[in-house]
Chains A and B, each alone.
Chain A
């Protein structure tokens, strides 16, 4: 655990990519193989099981810290991270421990069969033998919120350097459904992929945005000069659903979402078509709700994500289908190095043979003569219930992760309204103890009606100014939330808008964020609820 705590500390102590990679390599070089796999699991988002419920952890931490619970809560609001708050509030440890990360996790997992009293004793004893930094990472294990300031790419780079394997191979081998207690370091680094798990997906290839913000709109000429001749590119609609990889191997099927969640059971409608595919097939596509052959807005799909049990009603109201983009494996062979056009032909053949063409759809290619023509077609995105257009170079291979060059997304400008900030709450992590989470309202007659929350879009300097304003213009406090004097106006952008019975305003937005601070607008000139509803388009 000492090495793991030091790893965290050292990663915090540098902002430079090369140094972070060095720190990661130092860690891999000094810990046992089992610890390497535990760390890898944690750093790639494989959360440890929560054995002790978090309310109990909190209660016992308050007890160990010997402060009133309200003061603990206040401290948490200042620190913005529960694991760190607990680590800071406890008295200094009296003993120390040399247990490895693997040993700690094993002890933690063994608590499953223990009584609450035994769990509590174990936790108090553990805290007493860890120093503040160890306690911090230990608490992170307990609370299961393991976000590290290190991208998976860096971890992969460090491993690639050490093992002399290439980064794409490692990225592939750490995908999927493995557990650190059964997947060994030896298996990870062996030369051939013989031990590969049949459920393992490929790393997704992700597109880079052509324009970062709506202000920097790209013209057809600029695209021509950046991407070259239009005939070298294939264009498709950019669908707004759940990006997924669907696998059929050895008679078994697996559905992976981009967040690397195995979601096979969540989409029973897809099982017949997957079962009908030949063995050794992997398809990349988008899962969307469909009705009468037309895609439905994302919020319809949203109603069934996260549900444990899919009721008959949900399956009827929000039936899903796949729009296939690509084929990554065919006849058991990894075909990612074939060109986009070659893979497309294979995908078209597969789709042509399916007995379920309503469920196994294919992303239609958009015919366009030149970039200007495509720019015009792009204007129809919203009517198509698409987010814009995808561009793929016809001779591109299927790559790993988000890369510039061969895949681009050319999204339409967001919808936007001018709104007044009315509530604020402190942020977390890097934004701890600063008011960064805001609620916005539009006018309904002479009342301001909240309609969206947004966390991002301002620069650090702007956040400081808004924070300064909020601290001086608080009208009321409800727990961590402050009611702020309505004065500041912001332009709020969003990707879509739908009716909602769950919200006071009667609408729900998709991806709301702050586009800019409208210093020039007094609050009276903010938009109205009617302006917003006019965007519903129904």
Chain B
């Protein structure tokens, strides 16, 4: 009889039977190990949570009073004889890959990750393993990111031009991840940063966690409009086109997302400027990350899974498509009734394309 694998894909999430815990489960369980605090990975309703300590305050802010234990990168804890170690995933502040080891068999769950250093999240570190469970949100060869410095040169020039033309500047990105990445990398010599409440709540949670962020000013009913128009407004996707945003007009609105790589997606968003900036690995990043693990087999959980799996198999990997709710298709589409409030959702969830899970099944 074939040995049961250490991790299996169940209808509640990724499960370790030996250790009796789940990783990023989407249905209530006793023990959940959480890769990062985005809503499609950190659900409410579990009895016990384990996560990286930089996810602590954001998890409390988003999920309320949960029973949470946090640990450092590189720190190992043992659950029912199974070793669990966290490694940086480079996706957002506090995001972790989870290494699971039992009797020499090693699995790594990537969660979401990117291979480029964004200057704010602890950079991605490849971990040697037998089995690697990877995302592939941008697993198509048309997605290739430019170095971050080039992107921010464009952002800064755009902001500068807006100031000269008497336009306000609104830059849109997700409240956990993109917002802080923008905040820490733009040229503050141009002016002050004003934040939408949803982003500022996340910033405050991170500051409570000891993260040092550049100064921001929360926009309230009393914030003088003329002041705001001289700075840059950091806003979540849900605020696009709302009366809240319109009152700062005339403005130029820039959208930061990996989906901006395609003209069609950019035109659908009707943004004045699309900045191709993603917290996920691009095509080359995914392949190099998978290769660097030295894994025997790789499982693709979300994104362009069918295409990417086929390609990996052709170039010599043992790749499998699996069906999960990550990058969830219900979140990819902001117009689905009963979906999560947009401001709490991370980028792939409001993607115009979302990566098609192509009927993936285990």
Nearest Cβ in chain B — how far from A436, in angstroms? 11
* B333 pairs with A464, CB closer than 8 A: yes
**A471 CA to B142 CA in the complex, in Å?**
21
Q: How far is the CA of A472 from the CA of B323 in the complex (A)?
A: 12
Q: Taking CB as reference atom, which chain B residue is nearest A460?
A: B268
- In the complex, identify which listed stretch (A45-53, A71-79, A240-248, A279-287) lies at the interface while the others stay far away: A71-79
List of A residues within 8 angstroms of B273 by Cβ: 13
CB distance from B337 to the nearest CB of A (A): 8
Task: Name the CB-closest residue of B to A83.
Answer: B263
Is there an interface contact between B264 and A67, defined as CB atoms closer than 8 Å? no
Contact pick for B141, options A67, A149, A434, CB 8 Å: A67
Which of B5-13, B51-59, B201-209, B350-358 forms contacts with chain A?
B350-358
A71 to B139 alpha-carbon distance, docked (Å)? 11
A-facing residues in B82-107 (Cβ within 8 Å): none
- In chain A, what residue has the closest Cβ to B143? A88
The one of B141, B307, B314, B352 in contact with A433, judged by C-beta atoms closer than 8 angstroms, is B352
Chain A CB within 10 Å, residue with most, of B263, B266, B352, B359:
B263
- Do the beta carbons of A84 and B262 come within 8 Å of each other? yes
User: When the two chains form their complex, are residues A431 and B144 in contact, meaning their CB atoms are under 8 A apart?
Assistant: no
| Nearest-Cβ distance from residue A107 to partner chain B, whole angstroms | 26
SS class of chain B's interface: helix, strand, loop or mixed?
loop
Instruction: Give how many A residues have a beta carbon under 8 Å from the other chain's beta carbons.
Output: 36
A102 to B336 Cα, complex, angstroms:
49
B16 at the interface (CB under 8 A from A): no
Once the chains bind, are A471 and B140 in contact (CB under 8 Å)?
no
Q: Is A80 an interface residue (CB 8 A)?
A: yes
The answer on a CB contact under 8 Å between A71 and B307 is yes
Partner of A88, one of B142, B267, B307, B334: B142
**A89 proximal to B (CB < 8 A):** yes
Whether a CB of chain A sits under 8 angstroms from the CB of B335 is: yes
Interface assignment of A15: CB less than 8 Å from any CB of chain B: yes
8 Å CB contact of B262 from A67, A70, A74, A432: A432
Question: Are B353 and A433 in contact, with the CB atoms below 8 A?
Answer: yes
A471 contacts B357, C-beta separation under 8 Å: yes
Interchain CA distance A467-B332 in the complex, whole Å? 11
CB distance from B183 to the nearest CB of A (A): 23
Is A14's CB within 8 Å of the partner chain B? Answer: yes
For B334, the chain A residues whose CB sits under 8 A away are 464
Q: Is the CB of B264 within 8 A of A88?
A: no
Chain A facing B: main interface SS: helix
Residues in A429-469 with C-beta less than 8 Å from chain B: 429-434, 460-461, 464-465, 467-468
B265 within 8 A of A: yes
A461 CA to B314 CA, complexed, in Å: 38
A-contacting residues, B328-362, CB 8 Å: 329, 333-336, 352-353, 356-357, 359
Known: A81-B264, A460-B268. A465 touches B307 (CB 8 A): no
In the assembled complex, how far is the CB of residue A6 from the closest CB belonging to chain B, in whole angstroms? Answer: 14
Query: What residues of chain B lie closer than 8 Å to A75, measured between beta carbons?
Result: 140-142
Of B142, B262, B307, B335, the contact of A461 (CB 8 Å cutoff): B335
Closest Cβ of chain A to B324, distance in Å, is: 15
Complex Cα distance, B356 from A391, in Å, reads: 49
Interface status of B44 (Cβ within 8 A of chain A): no
Contact B333 A468 (CB under 8 A): yes
Cross-chain contact B270 with A74 (CB below 8 angstroms): no
**Does B30 lie at the interface of the complex (its beta carbon under 8 Å from any beta carbon of A)?**
no
Q: Would you call A524 an interface residue if the criterion is a C-beta within 8 Å of the partner chain's C-beta atoms?
A: no
For the complex, is B296 an interface residue (Cβ under 8 Å from A)?
Answer: no
CB-CB contacts below 8 Å: B233-266 with A: 261-266
A71 near B141 with CB under 8 A, answer yes
B335:A429 contact, CB within 8 angstroms: no
Contact A432:B307 (CB < 8 A) given known A75-B140, A465-B336, A472-B329 = no
New A-B pairs, 20, CB < 8 Å, besides A75-B141, A464-B335, A465-B335: A13-B273, A68-B311, A68-B314, A70-B310, A79-B262, A81-B263, A84-B262, A149-B267, A429-B263, A430-B264, A431-B264, A431-B268, A433-B352, A434-B352, A461-B335, A465-B336, A468-B329, A471-B329, A472-B329, A474-B359
Task: Name 7 interchain pairs, CB-CB below 8 A, sorted by A.
Answer: A74-B307, A78-B142, A80-B264, A429-B264, A433-B264, A464-B333, A471-B356
Interfacial residues, chain A to chain B (CB-CB below 8 A): 12-15, 65, 67-68, 70-71, 74-75, 78-81, 84-85, 88-89, 149, 428-434, 460-461, 464-465, 467-468, 471-472, 474
Task: Give residues in B with beta carbon < 8 Å to A.
Answer: 140-142, 144, 261-268, 270, 272-273, 304, 307, 310-311, 314, 329, 333-336, 352-353, 356-357, 359
Closest CB pairs A-B (n = 7):
A432-B264, A433-B353, A88-B142, A464-B335, A430-B267, A461-B335, A468-B333
